[in-house]
Protein backbone atom coordinates (compact mmCIF):
# COMPACT_ATOMS: atom_id res chain seq x y z
CA UNK A 1 0.00 0.00 0.00
CA UNK A 2 2.82 2.44 0.90
CA UNK A 3 4.23 2.44 -2.63
CA UNK A 4 0.78 3.14 -4.08
CA UNK A 5 0.40 6.27 -1.96
CA UNK A 6 3.91 7.64 -2.41
CA UNK A 7 4.08 10.88 -4.36
CA UNK A 8 0.63 12.10 -3.27
CA UNK A 9 0.21 15.70 -2.12
CA UNK A 10 0.11 16.21 1.65
CA UNK A 11 -3.49 17.45 1.61
CA UNK A 12 -4.61 14.36 -0.34
CA UNK A 13 -2.90 12.07 2.19
CA UNK A 14 -4.48 13.95 5.11
CA UNK A 15 -7.92 13.79 3.43
CA UNK A 16 -7.46 10.08 2.78
CA UNK A 17 -6.48 9.46 6.41
CA UNK A 18 -9.54 11.25 7.76
CA UNK A 19 -11.88 9.59 5.25
CA UNK A 20 -10.62 6.13 6.19
CA UNK A 21 -10.86 7.01 9.88
CA UNK A 22 -14.48 8.06 9.32
CA UNK A 23 -15.35 4.76 7.65
CA UNK A 24 -13.67 2.72 10.38
CA UNK A 25 -15.42 4.84 13.02
CA UNK A 26 -18.73 4.02 11.35
CA UNK A 27 -17.89 0.31 11.46
CA UNK A 28 -16.78 0.56 15.10
CA UNK A 29 -20.06 2.28 15.99
CA UNK A 30 -21.92 -0.28 13.89
CA UNK A 31 -20.24 -2.95 16.02
CA UNK A 32 -21.33 -1.66 19.41
CA UNK A 33 -24.67 -0.45 18.00
CA UNK A 34 -25.58 -3.91 16.72
CA UNK A 35 -23.76 -6.09 19.27
CA UNK A 36 -26.81 -6.48 21.47
CA UNK A 37 -28.74 -7.96 18.59
CA UNK A 38 -26.28 -10.85 18.38
CA UNK A 39 -25.76 -11.40 22.13
CA UNK A 40 -29.02 -10.18 23.69
CA UNK A 41 -30.58 -13.61 23.98
CA UNK A 42 -27.51 -15.44 25.36
CA UNK A 43 -26.93 -12.67 27.91
CA UNK A 44 -30.57 -12.31 28.88
CA UNK A 45 -31.08 -16.09 29.20
CA UNK A 46 -27.74 -16.39 31.05
CA UNK A 47 -26.49 -18.92 28.52
CA UNK A 48 -23.19 -17.01 28.54
CA UNK A 49 -21.69 -14.39 30.87
CA UNK A 50 -21.79 -10.92 29.25
CA UNK A 51 -18.01 -10.55 28.94
CA UNK A 52 -17.62 -13.92 27.21
CA UNK A 53 -20.66 -13.41 24.97
CA UNK A 54 -19.42 -10.03 23.80
CA UNK A 55 -15.83 -11.25 23.31
CA UNK A 56 -16.81 -14.27 21.20
CA UNK A 57 -19.36 -12.21 19.31
CA UNK A 58 -16.53 -9.83 18.41
CA UNK A 59 -14.36 -12.73 17.25
CA UNK A 60 -17.12 -14.18 15.06
CA UNK A 61 -17.96 -10.74 13.66
CA UNK A 62 -14.26 -10.44 12.75
CA UNK A 63 -14.27 -13.83 11.03
CA UNK A 64 -17.50 -12.99 9.22
CA UNK A 65 -15.92 -9.92 7.62
CA UNK A 66 -12.76 -11.82 6.65
CA UNK A 67 -14.65 -14.67 4.98
CA UNK A 68 -17.74 -12.87 3.71
CA UNK A 69 -16.57 -11.76 0.24
CA UNK A 70 -17.53 -8.45 -1.41
CA UNK A 71 -20.94 -9.12 -2.99
CA UNK A 72 -22.89 -7.05 -0.45
CA UNK A 73 -20.17 -4.35 -0.51
CA UNK A 74 -20.75 -3.62 -4.17
CA UNK A 75 -24.52 -3.97 -3.86
CA UNK A 76 -24.26 -0.95 -1.55
CA UNK A 77 -21.85 0.90 -3.86
CA UNK A 78 -24.14 0.40 -6.85
CA UNK A 79 -26.97 2.22 -5.13
CA UNK A 80 -25.19 5.24 -6.59
CA UNK A 81 -25.80 5.75 -10.31
CA UNK A 82 -23.02 4.75 -12.67
CA UNK A 83 -22.52 8.42 -13.60
CA UNK A 84 -21.48 9.20 -10.03
CA UNK A 85 -19.19 6.17 -9.89
CA UNK A 86 -17.30 7.05 -13.08
CA UNK A 87 -16.72 10.61 -11.82
CA UNK A 88 -13.47 10.00 -9.96
CA UNK A 89 -12.74 13.54 -8.80
CA UNK A 90 -10.88 13.93 -5.49
CA UNK A 91 -12.92 16.84 -4.13
CA UNK A 92 -16.17 15.31 -5.27
CA UNK A 93 -15.26 11.97 -3.71
CA UNK A 94 -14.41 13.59 -0.39
CA UNK A 95 -17.69 15.52 -0.28
CA UNK A 96 -19.66 12.36 -1.07
CA UNK A 97 -17.95 10.13 1.50
CA UNK A 98 -17.83 12.61 4.39
CA UNK A 99 -21.48 13.61 3.86
CA UNK A 100 -22.92 10.12 3.89
CA UNK A 101 -20.70 8.95 6.77
CA UNK A 102 -21.41 12.00 8.93
CA UNK A 103 -25.15 11.44 8.46
CA UNK A 104 -24.90 7.70 9.19
CA UNK A 105 -22.72 8.12 12.29
CA UNK A 106 -24.96 10.87 13.71
CA UNK A 107 -28.12 8.76 13.39
CA UNK A 108 -26.44 5.59 14.70
CA UNK A 109 -25.11 7.33 17.80
CA UNK A 110 -28.44 8.98 18.48
CA UNK A 111 -30.49 5.77 18.33
CA UNK A 112 -27.84 3.85 20.32
CA UNK A 113 -27.85 6.53 23.05
CA UNK A 114 -31.61 6.13 23.52
CA UNK A 115 -31.38 2.32 23.44
CA UNK A 116 -33.44 2.01 20.26
CA UNK A 117 -32.70 -1.10 18.13
CA UNK A 118 -32.38 0.91 14.90
CA UNK A 119 -30.78 -0.45 11.75
CA UNK A 120 -27.27 0.50 10.65
CA UNK A 121 -28.16 -0.88 7.21
CA UNK A 122 -31.12 1.47 6.87
CA UNK A 123 -28.95 4.30 8.12
CA UNK A 124 -26.20 3.75 5.57
CA UNK A 125 -28.56 3.17 2.66
CA UNK A 126 -30.54 6.33 3.48
CA UNK A 127 -27.29 8.31 3.61
CA UNK A 128 -26.20 6.97 0.19
CA UNK A 129 -29.60 7.75 -1.33
CA UNK A 130 -29.40 11.30 0.05
CA UNK A 131 -26.03 11.89 -1.62
CA UNK A 132 -27.31 10.50 -4.92
CA UNK A 133 -30.41 12.70 -4.89
CA UNK A 134 -28.47 15.81 -3.87
CA UNK A 135 -25.94 15.17 -6.63
CA UNK A 136 -28.79 14.97 -9.15
CA UNK A 137 -30.20 18.32 -8.04
CA UNK A 138 -26.78 20.00 -8.03
CA UNK A 139 -25.78 18.56 -11.42
CA UNK A 140 -29.12 19.34 -13.06
CA UNK A 141 -29.80 15.72 -14.02
CA UNK A 142 -33.26 14.16 -13.55
CA UNK A 143 -33.92 12.89 -10.02
CA UNK A 144 -34.94 9.58 -11.61
CA UNK A 145 -31.29 9.20 -12.69
CA UNK A 146 -29.79 10.37 -9.39
CA UNK A 147 -30.02 6.94 -7.78
CA UNK A 148 -29.83 3.41 -9.16
CA UNK A 149 -33.52 2.91 -8.44
CA UNK A 150 -33.63 -0.73 -9.54
CA UNK A 151 -30.92 -1.61 -7.05
CA UNK A 152 -32.63 0.59 -4.43
CA UNK A 153 -35.91 -1.27 -4.98
CA UNK A 154 -34.17 -4.66 -4.68
CA UNK A 155 -32.44 -3.63 -1.44
CA UNK A 156 -35.58 -1.92 -0.13
CA UNK A 157 -37.58 -5.09 -0.72
CA UNK A 158 -35.00 -7.15 1.20
CA UNK A 159 -35.07 -4.65 4.10
CA UNK A 160 -38.89 -4.64 4.21
CA UNK A 161 -39.59 -8.34 3.76
CA UNK A 162 -36.76 -9.79 5.87
CA UNK A 163 -38.26 -8.52 9.19
CA UNK A 164 -41.68 -9.80 8.12
CA UNK A 165 -40.14 -13.19 7.35
CA UNK A 166 -38.29 -13.07 10.68
CA UNK A 167 -41.55 -12.40 12.55
CA UNK A 168 -43.41 -15.23 10.81
CA UNK A 169 -40.68 -17.88 10.73
CA UNK A 170 -39.54 -17.35 14.34
CA UNK A 171 -43.15 -17.64 15.47
CA UNK A 172 -43.58 -20.88 13.51
CA UNK A 173 -40.32 -22.31 14.89
CA UNK A 174 -41.51 -21.60 18.44
CA UNK A 175 -44.88 -23.27 17.76
CA UNK A 176 -43.02 -26.30 16.38
CA UNK A 177 -40.90 -26.47 19.55
CA UNK A 178 -44.02 -26.20 21.73
CA UNK A 179 -45.69 -28.99 19.72
CA UNK A 180 -42.56 -31.20 19.86
CA UNK A 181 -41.74 -30.73 23.55
CA UNK A 182 -44.68 -28.97 25.24
CA UNK A 183 -43.51 -29.76 28.80
CA UNK A 184 -39.84 -28.97 28.23
CA UNK A 185 -37.96 -26.62 30.52
CA UNK A 186 -36.96 -24.62 27.43
CA UNK A 187 -40.36 -22.89 27.66
CA UNK A 188 -39.43 -21.24 30.95
CA UNK A 189 -38.07 -17.73 31.35
CA UNK A 190 -34.79 -17.21 33.27
CA UNK A 191 -36.79 -15.90 36.25
CA UNK A 192 -39.06 -18.96 36.24
CA UNK A 193 -36.06 -21.26 35.96
CA UNK A 194 -34.41 -19.62 38.96
CA UNK A 195 -37.56 -19.62 41.12
CA UNK A 196 -38.87 -23.09 40.22
CA UNK A 197 -35.67 -25.07 39.65
CA UNK A 198 -33.19 -22.94 41.60
CA UNK A 199 -30.97 -22.97 38.50
CA UNK A 200 -29.24 -19.94 37.05
CA UNK A 201 -28.49 -21.26 33.56
CA UNK A 202 -30.65 -22.84 30.82
CA UNK A 203 -30.80 -26.64 30.44
CA UNK A 204 -27.61 -27.95 28.74
CA UNK A 205 -28.93 -28.57 25.22
CA UNK A 206 -30.90 -25.33 25.17
CA UNK A 207 -27.81 -23.48 26.34
CA UNK A 208 -25.69 -25.08 23.63
CA UNK A 209 -28.17 -24.12 20.90
CA UNK A 210 -28.42 -20.56 22.25
CA UNK A 211 -24.63 -20.15 22.22
CA UNK A 212 -24.10 -21.68 18.77
CA UNK A 213 -26.95 -19.69 17.21
CA UNK A 214 -25.68 -16.45 18.82
CA UNK A 215 -22.23 -17.00 17.32
CA UNK A 216 -23.88 -17.81 13.96
CA UNK A 217 -25.76 -14.50 14.13
CA UNK A 218 -22.47 -12.73 14.92
CA UNK A 219 -20.74 -14.39 11.97
CA UNK A 220 -23.44 -13.57 9.41
CA UNK A 221 -23.76 -10.06 10.87
CA UNK A 222 -20.04 -9.56 10.23
CA UNK A 223 -20.25 -10.97 6.73
CA UNK A 224 -23.20 -8.72 5.86
CA UNK A 225 -22.61 -5.49 7.77
CA UNK A 226 -18.83 -5.64 7.48
CA UNK A 227 -19.10 -5.62 3.71
CA UNK A 228 -20.83 -2.25 3.88
CA UNK A 229 -17.68 -0.80 5.40
CA UNK A 230 -15.57 -2.47 2.73
CA UNK A 231 -17.71 -0.88 0.02
CA UNK A 232 -17.37 2.53 1.66
CA UNK A 233 -13.59 2.27 1.88
CA UNK A 234 -13.40 1.34 -1.80
CA UNK A 235 -15.49 4.45 -2.58
CA UNK A 236 -13.00 6.49 -0.55
CA UNK A 237 -9.93 5.00 -2.23
CA UNK A 238 -11.31 5.27 -5.76
CA UNK A 239 -12.55 8.80 -5.13
CA UNK A 240 -9.34 10.15 -3.59
CA UNK A 241 -6.53 8.12 -5.19
CA UNK A 242 -8.17 6.67 -8.32
CA UNK A 243 -4.97 5.79 -10.16
CA UNK A 244 -4.05 3.24 -7.49
CA UNK A 245 -7.45 1.65 -6.89
CA UNK A 246 -9.77 1.95 -9.93
CA UNK A 247 -8.52 -1.49 -11.01
CA UNK A 248 -7.21 -4.38 -8.96
CA UNK A 249 -3.49 -3.97 -9.59
CA UNK A 250 -2.91 -7.46 -8.22
CA UNK A 251 -5.01 -9.02 -10.98
CA UNK A 252 -3.28 -11.98 -12.62
CA UNK A 253 -2.72 -12.27 -16.36
CA UNK A 254 -5.53 -14.86 -16.40
CA UNK A 255 -7.97 -12.45 -14.73
CA UNK A 256 -7.12 -9.72 -17.24
CA UNK A 257 -7.58 -12.23 -20.07
CA UNK A 258 -11.01 -13.12 -18.62
CA UNK A 259 -11.97 -9.45 -18.71
CA UNK A 260 -10.82 -9.15 -22.33
CA UNK A 261 -12.61 -12.38 -23.32
CA UNK A 262 -15.81 -11.20 -21.61
CA UNK A 263 -15.63 -7.97 -23.63
CA UNK A 264 -15.20 -9.90 -26.87
CA UNK A 265 -18.04 -12.28 -26.00
CA UNK A 266 -20.24 -9.31 -25.12
CA UNK A 267 -19.68 -7.92 -28.61
CA UNK A 268 -20.62 -11.30 -30.10
CA UNK A 269 -23.68 -11.44 -27.85
CA UNK A 270 -24.94 -8.11 -29.17
CA UNK A 271 -24.26 -9.17 -32.77
CA UNK A 272 -26.18 -12.40 -32.16
CA UNK A 273 -29.16 -10.41 -30.87
CA UNK A 274 -28.85 -7.62 -33.43
CA UNK A 275 -32.48 -7.82 -34.50
CA UNK A 276 -33.84 -7.04 -31.02
CA UNK A 277 -31.06 -4.76 -29.73
CA UNK A 278 -29.97 -2.75 -32.80
CA UNK A 279 -32.13 0.27 -32.03
CA UNK A 280 -31.44 0.38 -28.27
CA UNK A 281 -27.67 0.10 -28.79
CA UNK A 282 -27.46 1.95 -32.14
CA UNK A 283 -25.56 -1.04 -33.56
CA UNK A 284 -23.76 -0.30 -36.80
CA UNK A 285 -24.43 3.45 -36.53
CA UNK A 286 -22.20 6.41 -35.83
CA UNK A 287 -23.10 8.09 -32.54
CA UNK A 288 -22.29 11.65 -31.52
CA UNK A 289 -19.56 11.66 -28.89
CA UNK A 290 -18.30 8.24 -29.97
CA UNK A 291 -17.10 7.18 -26.49
CA UNK A 292 -18.70 7.71 -23.07
CA UNK A 293 -17.53 11.02 -21.65
CA UNK A 294 -15.98 11.43 -18.25
CA UNK A 295 -19.22 11.77 -16.31
CA UNK A 296 -21.88 9.71 -18.08
CA UNK A 297 -22.69 6.48 -19.93
CA UNK A 298 -24.81 6.07 -23.07
CA UNK A 299 -26.03 2.62 -24.29
CA UNK A 300 -25.78 3.87 -27.88
CA UNK A 301 -22.00 4.21 -27.46
CA UNK A 302 -21.59 0.51 -26.67
CA UNK A 303 -19.86 -0.55 -29.89
CA UNK A 304 -17.10 2.11 -29.83
CA UNK A 305 -16.66 1.49 -26.07
CA UNK A 306 -16.10 -2.22 -26.66
CA UNK A 307 -13.62 -1.43 -29.42
CA UNK A 308 -11.74 1.07 -27.22
CA UNK A 309 -11.61 -1.37 -24.29
CA UNK A 310 -10.27 -4.22 -26.45
CA UNK A 311 -7.61 -1.87 -27.82
CA UNK A 312 -6.67 -0.71 -24.30
CA UNK A 313 -6.32 -4.29 -23.03
CA UNK A 314 -4.48 -5.64 -26.06
CA UNK A 315 -1.23 -7.27 -24.96
CA UNK A 316 -1.72 -6.24 -21.31
CA UNK A 317 -0.54 -8.86 -18.83
CA UNK A 318 -0.22 -6.62 -15.78
CA UNK A 319 -2.28 -3.54 -14.88
CA UNK A 320 0.86 -1.92 -13.42
CA UNK A 321 2.13 -1.48 -16.98
CA UNK A 322 -0.81 0.79 -17.89
CA UNK A 323 -0.48 4.55 -17.23
CA UNK A 324 -2.66 5.90 -14.40
CA UNK A 325 -4.99 7.88 -16.68
CA UNK A 326 -5.48 4.84 -18.89
CA UNK A 327 -6.56 2.76 -15.88
CA UNK A 328 -9.25 5.32 -15.08
CA UNK A 329 -10.41 5.13 -18.71
CA UNK A 330 -10.53 1.33 -18.64
CA UNK A 331 -12.62 1.35 -15.48
CA UNK A 332 -15.02 3.86 -17.04
CA UNK A 333 -15.42 1.62 -20.08
CA UNK A 334 -16.02 -1.44 -17.89
CA UNK A 335 -18.58 0.32 -15.68
CA UNK A 336 -20.45 1.70 -18.69
CA UNK A 337 -20.50 -1.67 -20.47
CA UNK A 338 -21.75 -3.34 -17.28
CA UNK A 339 -24.42 -0.67 -16.80
CA UNK A 340 -25.62 -1.09 -20.39
CA UNK A 341 -25.61 -4.88 -20.08
CA UNK A 342 -27.74 -4.56 -16.95
CA UNK A 343 -30.25 -2.39 -18.86
CA UNK A 344 -30.26 -4.84 -21.78
CA UNK A 345 -31.01 -7.72 -19.40
CA UNK A 346 -34.26 -5.95 -18.42
CA UNK A 347 -35.51 -5.78 -22.02
CA UNK A 348 -38.39 -8.17 -22.77
CA UNK A 349 -36.93 -9.09 -26.19
CA UNK A 350 -34.32 -11.44 -24.66
CA UNK A 351 -35.26 -14.94 -23.54
CA UNK A 352 -34.23 -16.31 -20.13
CA UNK A 353 -31.26 -18.27 -21.50
CA UNK A 354 -29.76 -15.20 -23.14
CA UNK A 355 -30.30 -13.17 -19.95
CA UNK A 356 -28.47 -15.85 -17.95
CA UNK A 357 -25.52 -15.68 -20.38
CA UNK A 358 -25.46 -11.90 -20.09
CA UNK A 359 -25.38 -12.12 -16.29
CA UNK A 360 -22.30 -14.38 -16.45
CA UNK A 361 -20.58 -11.96 -18.85
CA UNK A 362 -21.27 -9.09 -16.43
CA UNK A 363 -19.53 -10.95 -13.59
CA UNK A 364 -16.44 -11.50 -15.73
CA UNK A 365 -16.47 -7.87 -16.88
CA UNK A 366 -16.40 -6.52 -13.34
CA UNK A 367 -14.04 -9.12 -11.84
CA UNK A 368 -11.09 -6.70 -11.70
CA UNK A 369 -13.10 -3.63 -10.65
CA UNK A 370 -15.25 -5.16 -7.88
CA UNK A 371 -12.58 -6.16 -5.41
CA UNK A 372 -11.08 -5.16 -2.07
CA UNK A 373 -7.43 -5.39 -0.96
CA UNK A 374 -6.86 -7.70 2.02
CA UNK A 375 -5.75 -4.80 4.25
CA UNK A 376 -9.15 -3.13 3.69
CA UNK A 377 -11.01 -6.28 4.72
CA UNK A 378 -8.73 -6.72 7.74
CA UNK A 379 -9.16 -3.10 8.88
CA UNK A 380 -12.96 -3.31 8.68
CA UNK A 381 -12.95 -6.69 10.44
CA UNK A 382 -10.91 -5.24 13.32
CA UNK A 383 -13.09 -2.12 13.60
CA UNK A 384 -16.33 -4.12 13.65
CA UNK A 385 -14.92 -6.80 15.95
CA UNK A 386 -13.56 -4.29 18.48
CA UNK A 387 -16.74 -2.22 18.32
CA UNK A 388 -18.72 -5.36 19.09
CA UNK A 389 -16.95 -5.66 22.43
CA UNK A 390 -18.41 -2.44 23.87
CA UNK A 391 -21.77 -0.74 24.17
CA UNK A 392 -24.05 -3.77 24.43
CA UNK A 393 -25.95 -2.93 27.65
CA UNK A 394 -28.31 -0.26 26.28
CA UNK A 395 -30.14 -2.58 23.88
CA UNK A 396 -30.02 -6.01 25.60
CA UNK A 397 -32.76 -5.07 28.07
CA UNK A 398 -34.97 -3.81 25.22
CA UNK A 399 -34.62 -7.10 23.31
CA UNK A 400 -35.03 -9.36 26.34
CA UNK A 401 -37.76 -7.67 28.35
CA UNK A 402 -39.37 -4.72 26.62
CA UNK A 403 -40.68 -6.24 23.37
CA UNK A 404 -43.05 -8.72 25.03
CA UNK A 405 -45.18 -8.26 28.14
CA UNK A 406 -43.37 -11.23 29.66
CA UNK A 407 -39.69 -12.12 29.69
CA UNK A 408 -38.19 -14.17 26.88
CA UNK A 409 -38.15 -17.97 27.28
CA UNK A 410 -35.19 -20.10 26.21
CA UNK A 411 -37.23 -21.50 23.32
CA UNK A 412 -38.08 -18.00 22.14
CA UNK A 413 -34.42 -17.03 22.20
CA UNK A 414 -33.45 -20.09 20.17
CA UNK A 415 -36.24 -19.55 17.63
CA UNK A 416 -35.38 -15.88 17.11
CA UNK A 417 -31.63 -16.48 16.79
CA UNK A 418 -31.86 -19.48 14.45
CA UNK A 419 -34.26 -17.55 12.23
CA UNK A 420 -32.00 -14.48 12.19
CA UNK A 421 -28.86 -16.47 11.33
CA UNK A 422 -30.64 -18.28 8.51
CA UNK A 423 -32.24 -15.13 7.08
CA UNK A 424 -28.97 -13.14 7.00
CA UNK A 425 -27.09 -16.13 5.62
CA UNK A 426 -29.55 -16.35 2.72
CA UNK A 427 -29.22 -12.59 2.13
CA UNK A 428 -25.44 -13.02 1.92
CA UNK A 429 -25.83 -15.69 -0.75
CA UNK A 430 -27.88 -13.28 -2.89
CA UNK A 431 -25.61 -10.28 -2.05
CA UNK A 432 -28.43 -8.33 -0.38
CA UNK A 433 -27.83 -6.04 2.62
CA UNK A 434 -30.33 -6.67 5.42
CA UNK A 435 -30.82 -5.43 8.96
CA UNK A 436 -29.73 -7.75 11.78
CA UNK A 437 -31.53 -5.42 14.20
CA UNK A 438 -34.90 -5.61 12.51
CA UNK A 439 -34.80 -9.33 11.75
CA UNK A 440 -33.94 -10.25 15.34
CA UNK A 441 -36.36 -7.74 16.91
CA UNK A 442 -39.12 -8.97 14.59
CA UNK A 443 -38.21 -12.57 15.38
CA UNK A 444 -38.51 -11.91 19.11
CA UNK A 445 -41.85 -10.16 18.53
CA UNK A 446 -43.04 -13.13 16.44
CA UNK A 447 -42.21 -15.55 19.25
CA UNK A 448 -44.01 -13.32 21.77
CA UNK A 449 -47.16 -13.43 19.64
CA UNK A 450 -46.84 -17.20 19.08
CA UNK A 451 -46.34 -17.69 22.83
CA UNK A 452 -49.36 -15.47 23.57
CA UNK A 453 -47.11 -13.31 25.75
CA UNK A 454 -48.38 -10.09 24.20
CA UNK A 455 -46.34 -7.14 22.98
CA UNK A 456 -45.42 -3.92 24.75
CA UNK A 457 -46.98 -1.22 22.60
CA UNK A 458 -44.55 1.50 23.67
CA UNK A 459 -41.42 -0.42 22.68
CA UNK A 460 -42.90 -1.68 19.41
CA UNK A 461 -44.00 1.85 18.55
CA UNK A 462 -40.50 3.20 19.26
CA UNK A 463 -38.84 0.52 17.09
CA UNK A 464 -41.34 1.10 14.27
CA UNK A 465 -40.84 4.86 14.49
CA UNK A 466 -37.08 4.37 14.16
CA UNK A 467 -37.69 1.99 11.23
CA UNK A 468 -39.95 4.48 9.46
CA UNK A 469 -37.93 7.64 10.21
CA UNK A 470 -34.42 6.30 9.55
CA UNK A 471 -34.55 6.54 5.75
CA UNK A 472 -36.10 10.04 5.42
CA UNK A 473 -33.96 11.42 8.26
CA UNK A 474 -30.66 10.13 6.88
CA UNK A 475 -31.60 11.03 3.29
CA UNK A 476 -32.32 14.61 4.35
CA UNK A 477 -29.21 14.86 6.54
CA UNK A 478 -26.73 13.45 4.02
CA UNK A 479 -28.27 15.43 1.14
CA UNK A 480 -27.93 18.67 3.13
CA UNK A 481 -24.32 17.91 4.08
CA UNK A 482 -23.42 17.00 0.48
CA UNK A 483 -25.03 20.18 -0.84
CA UNK A 484 -23.09 22.29 1.67
CA UNK A 485 -19.83 20.48 0.91
CA UNK A 486 -20.31 20.84 -2.84
CA UNK A 487 -20.99 24.56 -2.47
CA UNK A 488 -17.83 24.94 -0.39
CA UNK A 489 -15.79 23.16 -3.07
CA UNK A 490 -17.34 25.07 -5.99
Q: With a cut of 60, say whether residue 54 has pLDDT above it.
A: yes
Structure confidence at residue 120 (pLDDT): 74
Cβ(96)–Cβ(482) below 8 Å: yes
pLDDT single digits (tens) 287-301? 666 666 556 788 888
DSSP output for 320-373: GGS-HHHHHHHHHHHHHHHHHHHHHHT-TTS-HHHHHHHHHHHHHHTTTTS---
DSSP output for 188-234: S-HHHHHHHH--SS--HHHHHHHHHHHHHHHHHHHHHHHHHHHHHHH
Confidence class for position 224, pLDDT limits 50, 70, 90: confident
Q: State the Cα–Cα distance between residues 177 and 179, nearest whole angstrom.
A: 5
Q: With a cut of 80, say whether residue 209 has pLDDT above it.
A: yes
Structure confidence at residue 290 (pLDDT): 63
User: 385-396 burial string, b = 16+ CB within 10 Å, else e?
Assistant: bbbbbebbebbb
When the pLDDT of each residue in the chain is averaged and rounded to a whole number, the result is 84
Higher pLDDT, 311 or 7: 311
Task: Name the nearest CA neighbour of 74 among 389, 335, 437.
Answer: 335
Cβ(469)–Cβ(479) below 8 Å: no
Q: With a cut of 60, say whether residue 181 has pLDDT above it.
A: yes
Confidence class for position 266, pLDDT limits 50, 70, 90: very high
> Any residues with CB less than 8 A from the CB of 467 and at least 6 apart, and which?
118, 119, 122, 163, 438
Structure confidence at residue 241 (pLDDT): 80
Task: Name the nearest CA neighbour of 475 among 170, 169, 99, 164.
Answer: 99
Percent of residues, the chain, with pLDDT higher than 90: 31
Q: With a cut of 70, say whether residue 194 has pLDDT above it.
A: yes
Structure confidence at residue 263 (pLDDT): 95
Structure confidence at residue 252 (pLDDT): 94
Q: With a cut of 60, say whether residue 156 has pLDDT above it.
A: yes
Confidence class for position 392, pLDDT limits 50, 70, 90: low
Structure confidence at residue 316 (pLDDT): 93
- Determine if residue 171 is left, alpha or beta; phi over 0 gives left, psi from -120 to 50 gives alpha, anything else beta: alpha
pLDDT single digits (tens) 325-384? 899 889 989 999 998 998 899 888 888 899 899 999 999 999 999 999 999 999 999 998
SS3 content of the chain, % helix, strand, coil (to 5): 75, 0, 25
- Burial (0-12, 13-18, 19+ Cβ within 10 Å), 91: middle
Ranges 257-266, 278-287, 301-310, 372-381: which has the least confidence: 278-287
Structure confidence at residue 116 (pLDDT): 66
Quote the distance between the C-alpha of residue 209 and its chain's center. 28
Structure confidence at residue 70 (pLDDT): 87
Averaged pLDDT for residues 213-229: 89
- Determine if residue 198 is left, alpha or beta; phi over 0 gives left, psi from -120 to 50 gives alpha, anything else beta: left
| Backbone phi, psi, residue 404, to 5° | -100, 165
Averaged pLDDT for residues 257-261: 95
3-state secondary structure of 164: helix
3-state secondary structure of 295: coil
Structure confidence at residue 377 (pLDDT): 94
Averaged pLDDT for residues 375-398: 78
Task: Name the nearest CA neighbour of 215 among 444, 438, 39, 49.
Answer: 39
Q: State the Cα–Cα distance between residues 171 and 158, nearest whole angstrom.
A: 19
Structure confidence at residue 461 (pLDDT): 75
Task: Name the nearest CA neighbour of 460 among 381, 410, 399, 380.
Answer: 399
For residue 343, CA distances in Å to 158, 319, 346, 370 come to 21, 28, 5, 19
Percent of residues, the chain, with pLDDT higher than 70: 88
Supply the DSSP symbol for 169: H
Q: State the Cα–Cα distance between residues 270 and 3, nearest whole angstrom.
A: 41
| Backbone phi, psi, residue 455, to 5° | -120, 145
Confidence class for position 179, pLDDT limits 50, 70, 90: very high
How many other β-carbons are positioned within 10 Å of the β-carbon of residue 10? 7
Angle among Cα 35, 37, 39 to the nearest 5 degrees reads 70
Q: With a cut of 90, say whether residue 468 has pLDDT above it.
A: no
Q: With a cut of 60, say whether residue 398 has pLDDT above it.
A: no
Structure confidence at residue 105 (pLDDT): 86
Structure confidence at residue 293 (pLDDT): 59
Structure confidence at residue 402 (pLDDT): 53
Q: With a cut of 90, say whether residue 265 has pLDDT above it.
A: yes
Q: With a cut of 60, say whether residue 442 has pLDDT above it.
A: yes
For residue 332, CA distances in Å to 9, 117, 142, 321, 328 come to 24, 40, 21, 18, 6
Higher pLDDT, 123 or 460: 123
Amino acid sequence: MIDLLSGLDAWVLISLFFALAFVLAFEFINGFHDTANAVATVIYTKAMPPHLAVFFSGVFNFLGVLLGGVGVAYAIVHLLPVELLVNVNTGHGLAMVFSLLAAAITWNLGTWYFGIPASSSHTLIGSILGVGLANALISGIPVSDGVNWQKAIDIGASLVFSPMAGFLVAGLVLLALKWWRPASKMHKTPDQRRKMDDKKHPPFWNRLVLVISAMAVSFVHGSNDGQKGIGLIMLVLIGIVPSAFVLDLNSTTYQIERTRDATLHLSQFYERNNASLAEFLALGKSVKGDLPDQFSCNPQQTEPTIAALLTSLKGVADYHSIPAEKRIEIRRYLLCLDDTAKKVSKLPALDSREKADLEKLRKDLTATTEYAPFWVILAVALALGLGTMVGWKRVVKTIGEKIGKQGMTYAQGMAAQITTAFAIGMANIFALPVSTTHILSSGVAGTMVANKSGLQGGTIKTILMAWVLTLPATIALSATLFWLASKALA
